[in-house]
Amino acid sequence: MKNLINSLSRTKKKSIIFIGDLILNFIATLLSLMLRLEKININIVDHIYSFIISFSVFLFSFYIFKIYRNIFRFFNLELIKYFLSATILSIITYAFILLVFTPIGTPRSLVIIQPVLFFLLVCFFRIFVSYIVLFLFKERLGDQVNILIYGAGSGGNELLTLLSNRNTFKVAGFIDDSDTKIGSYINGIKIYSKNNIPKLINKHLIKKIYITIPSLNNEKRRLIFNYLLQYNLEILSLPKLEDLNDYKFNLDNFSKIKFEDLIGRNINLKYNYNSIFIGKTILVTGAGGSIGSEVSSQLFKLSPKEIILLDNSEFNIYSLQKKFKTYENINNIKVTFVLCSIIDKTMVDHYFEKYKPNFVFHAAAFKHVNILENASIQAVNTNIFGTQNLINSSIFHKVEKFIFVSTDKAVNPTSIMGITKRFSEILIQSYSKLSSTKFAIVRFGNVVGSSGSVIPLFLDQIQNRKNITITHPDVERYFMSISEAASLIISTINMNDESAIYLLDMGESIKIIDIARKLIQINGLKEKTKNNPDGDIKIEFTGLKKGEKLFEELFRGEIEKTSNKSIFKVSDEVFDEEVVKNTLNDLKYFAKKLDYKNIEIVLRNIAANKL
């Protein structure tokens, strides 16, 4: 019997249920006539119209409420709601037919009696079918995963309906923060406060919790996710409302939480200055990197005429072509891919002459702290001379605005990477006095998921069950998501402070060891410690490397608010043009001679503000 049911297609199963309902409709009409006429022997021919009307009303009402599209494996209150709605429609339709046509042999009392009897019979039939399913598949039901649903709104209700068609999950309860909902029931399942989660876990051996509130803002999502992490459950969530494209409710919409969900803040990522870019040409350098790629993605939403995506990596250009080629069909935006190193002054100037960009977002740079400690000349060539080439071309070709993507490592720098970025800032402030091109510098900390971030490294170590390596137990960094960083970088376009340094609101700094522990928890694992030797992943400390700090600073000097509450203006020392020029010449001289020793002496002087 079990094999026979399993072998039936969904259409065949629906057909069997429909035939059952058809028979029940006939029985309900027959019983209605017996009750109304007070006799057992009913001549069907004499009352043929009663059977035809009953059958027609049944088809109409069940079609309107899509009863057979919503086939439920188990009988529940949601199914009763559908049947009750169909019954009310049947009564109204029955009354209308009898009022208009007055068919022979059809008592008016059938308007009430037949739909009500049919409703009761259909409910009993569904209960009977449910018990058969429960009996035949009780072995499978023993393997059900007990879950909780966080959110007793429409999303939670939809998930419950979806899961009612499956026998792999059992919903032990709803969790909600609304006092007005706690203690109520949805389809017989109680709504609890989040304080009841520990008891529910112990009582029902909960394995998963589904978060069904896509309208949550970043701050509330962060608070809920961080709260739930303590229970060592698999946490799955619907994405944010704005990320739900062509929304159809199914289990595939749910995904494991990411680290950026744990640091999310309510930053306004909406633009109100689309007109700035309309009909303009934009150049993005380092377009294949994490920040450059996201900046490019967001710029496509702002209706420019053309976007030039420049990168020095052949693979990055190939990846950009795959990602952005279809964007040309959006608002007729032209996309141009340029393979070019910003060190090559001739080619840089050639492309500025050819495409005449109105805006430049300069994200190209060498950024890996440890690698650049042994590659100071390469860092100077790209981060300083490459930036100088772009500045000169921007000034000569009268670019409207030049946005330089900097880093918090440029503040009191100790690394080659940080020093070269700091001198690039100094260079921009010096050159800005000589031209009509407006310049802006944007500083921010670590970006979650970027190529140089520790998070992909930690995730790789966790996936391969390797020990997580951290330099120092007290090391901490500032983090923000790529989308937040890119949005705020673009937002500085309409800030008119000349060669200003802007700082993105990075929130609170986070200890790297806390990040590692949360990533272990997110993946349903436990840290291996002296107190928990049976844990899954151990955290090891390797010691700080050359150029690394225990913590990063976001600014020195004074800080001012701007029109965007997530962006601040920073005041930093501005150097004399002649001093900057002399330092630049020294760097060029030693770089040309491949004199690593002296070039690092110059860089250390820059770090100490001894230009």
Predicted local confidence at residue 451, as pLDDT: 64
307 and 297 Cβ atoms separated by less than 8 Å: no
Q: What is the mean pLDDT of residues 125-142?
A: 65
Predicted local confidence at residue 283, as pLDDT: 97
Residue 312 pLDDT > 60, yes or no?
Answer: yes
Residue 66 pLDDT > 70, yes or no?
Answer: yes
Residues 279-297 pLDDT 10s: 999 999 999 998 999 999 9
Predicted local confidence at residue 145, as pLDDT: 83
The letter for the amino acid at 189 is I
pLDDT band at 154 (very low <50, low <70, confident <90, very high): confident
Residue 557 pLDDT > 60, yes or no?
Answer: yes
Predicted local confidence at residue 464, as pLDDT: 86
CA separation for the pair 164, 172 (Å, rounded): 13
CA separation for the pair 47, 94 (Å, rounded): 15
Residue 573 pLDDT > 60, yes or no?
Answer: yes
Predicted local confidence at residue 46, as pLDDT: 86
Task: Supply the DSSP string of 18-79, one letter for each residue.
Answer: HHHHHHHHHHHHHHHHHHHHT-S---TGGGHHHHHHHHHHHHHHHHHTTTTTS--SS--HHH
Min mean pLDDT across 130-139, 187-196, 312-321 is at 130-139
pLDDT band at 134 (very low <50, low <70, confident <90, very high): low
Residue 327 pLDDT > 80, yes or no?
Answer: no
CA separation for the pair 6, 9 (Å, rounded): 8
Which has more pLDDT, 363 or 131?
363
Residue 244 pLDDT > 60, yes or no?
Answer: no
Predicted local confidence at residue 363, as pLDDT: 95
Strand positions, DSSP E, 177-289: 185-186, 189-192, 208-211, 234-237, 255-256, 281-285
Which has more pLDDT, 559 or 328?
559
CA distances for 507 relative to 367, 503, 510, angstroms? 22, 11, 9
Residue 42 pLDDT > 70, yes or no?
Answer: yes
Mean per-residue pLDDT over the chain, rounded: 84
Residue 242 pLDDT > 60, yes or no?
Answer: no
Predicted local confidence at residue 99, as pLDDT: 85
Domains of the chain: 2-138 (no CATH), 144-257 (3.40.50.720), 279-607 (3.40.50.720)
CA distances for 262 relative to 149, 447, 608, angstroms? 19, 13, 37
Predicted local confidence at residue 155, as pLDDT: 83
**Which among 227, 252, 247, 248 is positioned nearest to 237, based on CA atoms?**
252
24-38, 79-93, 559-573, range with greatest mean pLDDT: 24-38
Which has more pLDDT, 388 or 72?
388
pLDDT band at 576 (very low <50, low <70, confident <90, very high): confident
Predicted local confidence at residue 382, as pLDDT: 96
| CA angle, 294 then 300 then 303, to 5° | 150
CA separation for the pair 78, 51 (Å, rounded): 29
73 and 165 Cβ atoms separated by less than 8 Å: yes
Task: Supply the DSSP string of 544-561, one letter for each residue.
Answer: PPTT--SS----SS-EEE
Q: What is the mean pLDDT of residues 18-27?
A: 91
Residue 308 pLDDT > 80, yes or no?
Answer: yes
Predicted local confidence at residue 253, as pLDDT: 67
Predicted local confidence at residue 459, as pLDDT: 81
CA distances for 277 relative to 359, 373, 582, angstroms? 9, 39, 37
Positive/negative CA dihedral, 415, 416, 417, 419: positive
Predicted local confidence at residue 520, as pLDDT: 84
Give kind and range of the element (H or E) at residue 371.
Answer: helix 369-372
Q: Residue 209: phi, psi to the nearest 5?
A: -135, 130
Min mean pLDDT across 239-253, 342-356, 527-541 is at 239-253
Residues 159-211 pLDDT 10s: 887 776 666 788 889 999 988 889 888 877 889 999 999 999 999 888 889 98
pLDDT band at 599 (very low <50, low <70, confident <90, very high): very high
Q: What percent of the chain has pLDDT over 90?
A: 36
**Which among 478, 362, 484, 339 is positioned nearest to 409, based on CA atoms?**
478
pLDDT band at 458 (very low <50, low <70, confident <90, very high): confident
561 and 489 Cβ atoms separated by less than 8 Å: no
Min mean pLDDT across 239-248, 261-270, 400-409, 499-508 is at 239-248
Predicted local confidence at residue 220, as pLDDT: 83
Predicted local confidence at residue 100, as pLDDT: 86
Predicted local confidence at residue 249, as pLDDT: 59
Task: Supply the DSSP string of 199-215, one letter for each residue.
Answer: HHHHHHT--EEEE--TT
567 and 504 Cβ atoms separated by less than 8 Å: yes
Predicted local confidence at residue 243, as pLDDT: 55
Q: If you search the block for the tokens 């002649």, which residue do you land on? A: 578
CA separation for the pair 259, 303 (Å, rounded): 31
CA distances for 2 relative to 411, 476, 544, angstroms? 70, 58, 63
Q: Which residues have C-beta within 8 Å of that of residue 516, sequence separation ≥ 6?
A: 458, 468, 470, 539
Q: What is the mean pLDDT of residues 521-528?
A: 81
Q: Tell me the two tokens of residue 503.
A: 């700082």
CA separation for the pair 597, 591 (Å, rounded): 10
Residues 95-120 pLDDT 10s: 999 888 888 888 888 899 999 999 99
Which has more pLDDT, 237 or 339?
339
Kindly state the DSSP code that residue 261 receives in the 8-state scheme. G
Buried b / exposed e over 27-64, threshold 16 CB at 10 Å, is ebbbbbbeebeeeeebeeeebebbbebbeebbeebbee
CA separation for the pair 60, 67 (Å, rounded): 11
Buried b / exposed e over 417-452, threshold 16 CB at 10 Å, is bbbbbbbbbbbbbbbbeebebbbbbbbbbbbbbbeb
Predicted local confidence at residue 391, as pLDDT: 95
Which has more pLDDT, 500 or 244?
500
First to last CA, the chain: 87
Q: What percent of the chain has pLDDT over 70?
A: 87
CA separation for the pair 220, 264 (Å, rounded): 9
Q: Which residues have C-beta within 8 Å of that of residue 519, sequence separation ≥ 6?
A: 259, 455, 458, 459, 462
pLDDT band at 24 (very low <50, low <70, confident <90, very high): very high
Its pTM stands at: 0.67
Q: What is the mean pLDDT of residues 356-362?
A: 97
Strand positions, DSSP E, 406-542: 438-443, 446-448, 468-470, 476-477, 479-481, 500-504, 510-511, 527-528, 537-541
